[in-house]
Amino acid sequence: MIAFTRANTYFKQLNTELLGLSIDSNSSHLAWMYDIYCKTGIKISFPIIADRNGQIARKYGMISSDISNTETVRNVFIIDDKGIVRTILIYPMNVGRFIPEIIRIIQSLQMADCMNCSTPANWMPNQPVILPPPQTFENLIQRQEEIMQNRNGISWYLSFQNPNEKCMQKELEE
């Protein structure tokens, strides 16, 4: 909760809202939040839903029956503005979440959506993206010529393009 609160400014810049879910009670959440505040001065900046009966956690597969019938695993769901789950990260109880990777995934999803493209392995913001493959033979020939001229790929099925200004600006505005 502390790490997400510290990073909340970055999430807000990406037009992203944080939401916590726990099978503990609202009173427990308030006690955690107050203890964190008293010991660190940090106010948790996002709501935490009390899922006492685990109904939501079970629906989303957040309770690992191999471990316990009530203990949740540490999941991160990235849900887009249409309510579609785009990414699920599952962390074991003894492994902390990696906030920079969660932010990078959001940036990657937003860039891919904006440019109708894919991002390659190890992609970071402002790096080239993968263009979708051509849909016609004519486009394939054109793509191959562009690759030869610009040296921006290895073949018609794997070519790259720098992010366009519109999408980079959109990322900055959000």
**pLDDT, tens only, 45-88:** 999 999 988 888 888 888 766 555 556 668 999 999 999 999 99
CATH number at residue 51: 3.40.30.10
Q: What is d(CA 135, CA 130) in angstroms, rounded to the nearest whole number?
A: 15
Average confidence (pLDDT) over 23-39? 94
Where is the domain boundary, 65, 97, 129? 97
The answer to whether residues 12 and 86 belong to one domain is yes
Q: 3-state DSSP call for residue 166?
A: helix
Question: How many domains does one find in the chain?
Answer: 2
| The pLDDT value given to residue 72 | 60
Nearby residues of 103 by Cβ (< 8 Å), 6 or more positions away: 7, 10, 11, 14
pLDDT digits (tens, 9 = 90+) for 121-154: 999 999 999 999 999 999 999 999 999 999 999 9
pLDDT in tens, 76-117: 999 999 999 999 998 888 889 999 999 999 999 999 999 999
Query: Measured between alpha carbons, how far is 19 from 4 in angstroms, rounded to an integer?
Result: 10
- Shared-domain flag, residues 69 and 119: no
Last residue of a domain, which of 97, 130, 154? Answer: 97
Q: Which residues pair with 22 in a beta bridge?
A: 50
State the CATH number of the domain containing residue 165: 3.30.1020.10
Task: Collect all residues with Cβ–Cβ distance below 8 Å to 132 and sequence separation of at least 6.
Answer: 116, 117, 118
91 shares its domain with 26 = yes
